[in-house]
Chains A and B, each alone.
Chain A
Amino acid sequence: MELEIKNGVVFDPLNKVDGEKKDILIRDGRIVEKLKGKHDVIDASGKLVMPGGVEIHSHFAGGKETAGRMLRPEDGARTVYPKRNGLRSGSGYSMPSSFTAGYLYAQMGYTMCNTPAMPPLFARHTHEELGDVPIVDKSAYPTFDGNWFVMRYLKEGDPDKLAACVAWFLRATKGLVIKIVNPGGTENWGWGKNAVGIDDPVIGFDVTPAQIVKGLAEVNERLKLPHSIHLHPNNLGKPGNIETTVETLELCREVKSANARQTVYLTHAQFHSFGGDSWKNFESKADELAKYINRCDHVVCDTGNVTLDETTTMTSDGPMEYFLHNLTHLKWVNKDVELETAPGITPFIYSRKNPVHSVQWAIGLELALLIDDPFKVLLATDHPNGGPFTRYPRIIAWLMSEPYRRYYMEERVHKGAQKGSSLATLDREYTFSDIAVVTRAGQAKALGLSELKGHLGVGAHGDVAIYDIDPAQVDPSKDFKAVEKGFAKTAYTIKDGEIIVKDGLIRATPQGRTYWANPVVDHELDREMLKDVEQYFKKYYSVNLANYPVQKEYLKRGREIQIDARDVK
């Protein structure tokens, strides 16, 4: 099957193509230099052509996501997608159901999505659900923040076995990335406590959050994983947490990167950039974090924008969700996972009239505008925690248009945002090329998948998004509404050379790939480590070890990334 996309205005930052008129040729699902025979042609003249979008952090499928849907039938009733044109029905405003999530992402031009917090015990569920998310390629990040094996090997000072153990967990859960959520805090939550600073002890293990972060960052590089550690630091969402954030990032400065990329990925940075010491004198410290990230090369972050919607917050950070529940008195679910982590879920209403929420809205944008290199600050709302992913077009419009931001600043949000942040003083506006970085190229690069994803060079997957925006006609600064509308639904979404979406309507729903990492360590070491695992399973887990790992065959279209790490002995 061959396809030619003619005359589009192409933005492909990884190949340094910045708005040139260029033809894209796809054969057998890959981008090629030449086509051989008869082929379909898409005329994209006057349209914006970008690589398929890559979502690096979105809770769209998994254990707590399902619990969140069950907790909020009223959210399901708010938006209903009827069965139509051969598509499955679905529902949910802040938490669209699995099939619908795949459709909505494809309609926005996204072709890869990653679910960023999979408790290892929920891996089987997560992969079952990922199998029900059509079109997009995906992966899951297993959480290691409160993992008893990890903390035990850290305490015993056995970095080799720790590496072997992490490799085993990635293999067993078919995960791609080491995710750390509130390190140590989730284990302490089992005792009704939290870990606020990086030196707070973890009850029963005699290790600290700092040791967990640093230990896992080193393991990550020894195993040569494609992505760095994916970190949600301690103390999320509390006034004055900027100190903890910077201290945590500083831990990874000396770690040597194996793959010439960042060594720590700070996720939803907005929630970690708070100043002040109470909600009364709460203020933005985005400038401080931005300054830090501008000065160093080992950090990449995503914004975690707040979109001022009614949403459902869900993290693996159980104590934080309880804290939120106490603020709002809304319903709440605690979903503790034995030996591993402790997610929680509660609804949250971000209000335009609330000074704190308005400052949070400003922080997300400030970070994107204050960090100079767009490859270091990616666009995400931490769906659904800051807002649903369906709001991305609006965030893009905010980033591209100073007047649009000013309109919100002056007329829509609380005046506290002007006092508590520096957003009003920022006049930077993103270009289409910057947008291509923060929504696809940067994501693919940070994930370490930039050979296949996030660009339109020869050899890349044939994933293309064509938007009905003519960069020659549209001035994003003035026509921000046109930008918002243009990015909401693609003219075409092409996945592996197949036309999936045409004029915003879905025409095909193929199964996407599921990527997972398989770092192979020294055989002897692996055997020694497994002895400990067996012992622990017998003693503590409610699950039998034989039933725990997810089989390769279980993934509908698994793609193993095998890594030779036999030098870990």
Chain B
Amino acid sequence: MKEIILKVISQPTVGLEAENIAPKVFACKSSMEIAGLPIYEGNRERRLGDFFDVSGEAGEAEAETRIVIEGDVRLTKRIGQGMRAGEIHIKGSAGMHLGSKMRGGKVTVEGDCEAFCFQEMRGGVVHIKGNAGNYLGSATRGNWRGMRGGTITVDGNAGSEIATFMKGGKIHVKGDCASFAGVHMNKGFIVIDGRAERRIGAEMIGGTIVANEVEAMLAGFKPVETVKAPEIESEKFTGNYKKYSGDHADSRAKGTVWVKIQ
């Protein structure tokens, strides 16, 4: 695997629309060509080289290309949009819509990521070492078909409404989670190692959520049983867990929420 390094020269005050920062676009291109790729600053077309110092060499194919971004790209949006293979490593914080509609490959973020990252993801492996913003792994506005595959691991905390309309895949939040985690969830698996705020699993009709602590359960959830050291989705958990079914606000409710008994 060959590596392209993008070193941040400057970040503008308005967002950059940079769906061209993706292994598929970079593959088979020289660093000169990559620096000449168009990206948008607000509604103005600019060159990638205006904002990044490009070095290294791209691979022959998408899967052979690794992109390393050195610096903070909080205002650069849509990095790795629709990627199917390859690797992106961001050694700082990432902007909105990172890896949206991603189908494969690997993304690592050393810092935090902003809202709307990995929307409607279908595959791949993601590791966020800082905190994640709102709408992580959710459906885009209006859509009822959310994340369908892949895994996302967040070492820090996550924002509100993560995994809306989730239909598959796994999200693991090692810290706390704001409200409405897994709203409208249909399938898939969410694990929250910390504390989840209110309205967890609202209107979920399928899928599984495991939380260490929950601020309050919605009225639509019915307690089913208490299990000691349960095995959930072929993962072992230690301690006693209370199992809820729901959300019975919808007649098709077949979701499950597990909450650890402290």
List residues of B (87-144) whose CB comes within 8 Å of A's CBs.
Answer: 140-144
- Any A CB within 8 A of the CB of B29: no
State the majority secondary structure of interface residues on B. Answer: loop
- Any A CB within 8 A of the CB of B252: yes
- Chain A residues contacting B144 (CB-CB under 8 Å) are 330-331
Smallest Cβ distance from B144 to chain A, in angstroms?
6
Contact A72–B142 (Cβ < 8 Å): yes
Smallest Cβ distance from A255 to chain B, in angstroms?
45
Cα distance A72–B139 in the bound complex, in angstroms: 13
Contact B252–A74 (Cβ < 8 Å): no
- Any B CB within 8 A of the CB of A73: yes
Contact A73–B252 (Cβ < 8 Å): no
List residues of A (184-206) whose CB comes within 8 Å of B's CBs.
Answer: none
- Chain B residues contacting A77 (CB-CB under 8 Å) are 140-142
Give the interface centre of A74, A77, A329, A331 by most chain B CB atoms within 10 Å.
Answer: A74
- Any B CB within 8 A of the CB of A520: no
Number of A-B residue pairs with CB-CB distance less than 8 Å in the complex they form: 17
Cα distance A331–B139 in the bound complex, in angstroms: 14
Cα distance A330–B142 in the bound complex, in angstroms: 11
Contact A329–B252 (Cβ < 8 Å): yes
* Binary interface encoding of chain B residues 131-174 relative to chain A, with 1 for a CB under 8 A from any of its CBs, else 0: 00000000011111000000000000000000000000000000
Give the interface centre of B141, B142, B143 by most chain A CB atoms within 10 Å.
Answer: B142
List residues of A (86-117) whose CB comes within 8 Å of B's CBs.
Answer: none
- Chain A residues contacting B252 (CB-CB under 8 Å) are 329
- Chain B residues contacting A73 (CB-CB under 8 Å) are 140-142
List residues of A (278-316) whose CB comes within 8 Å of B's CBs.
Answer: none
- Any B CB within 8 A of the CB of A71: yes
Cα distance A329–B206 in the bound complex, in angstroms: 14
Smallest Cβ distance from A323 to chain B, in angstroms?
16
Smallest Cβ distance from B203 to chain A, in angstroms?
11
- Chain B residues contacting A74 (CB-CB under 8 Å) are 140-143
- Chain B residues contacting A72 (CB-CB under 8 Å) are 142
Smallest Cβ distance from B249 to chain A, in angstroms?
13
Cα distance A236–B143 in the bound complex, in angstroms: 27
Smallest Cβ distance from B101 to chain A, in angstroms?
11
Smallest Cβ distance from A348 to chain B, in angstroms?
12
Cα distance A75–B145 in the bound complex, in angstroms: 12
Identify the closest chain A residue to B43 (Cβ).
A83
Smallest Cβ distance from A4 to chain B, in angstroms?
43
- Chain B residues contacting A329 (CB-CB under 8 Å) are 252
- Chain A residues contacting B140 (CB-CB under 8 Å) are 73-74, 77
Interface residues of B (CB under 8 A from A): 140-144, 252
Contacts A73-B140, A330-B144 aside, 10 further interface pairs with beta carbons under 8 A come to: A72-B142, A73-B142, A74-B140, A74-B143, A75-B142, A77-B141, A77-B142, A329-B252, A331-B142, A331-B144
Interface residues of A (CB under 8 A from B): 71-75, 77, 329-331
Query: Please, could you name 17 A-B residue pairs with CB atoms under 8 Å apart, sorted by A?
Result: A71-B142, A72-B142, A73-B140, A73-B141, A73-B142, A74-B140, A74-B141, A74-B142, A74-B143, A75-B142, A77-B140, A77-B141, A77-B142, A329-B252, A330-B144, A331-B142, A331-B144
Rank and list the top 7 A-B pairs by shortest CB-CB distance, nearest first. A73-B142, A74-B143, A74-B142, A73-B141, A72-B142, A74-B140, A330-B144
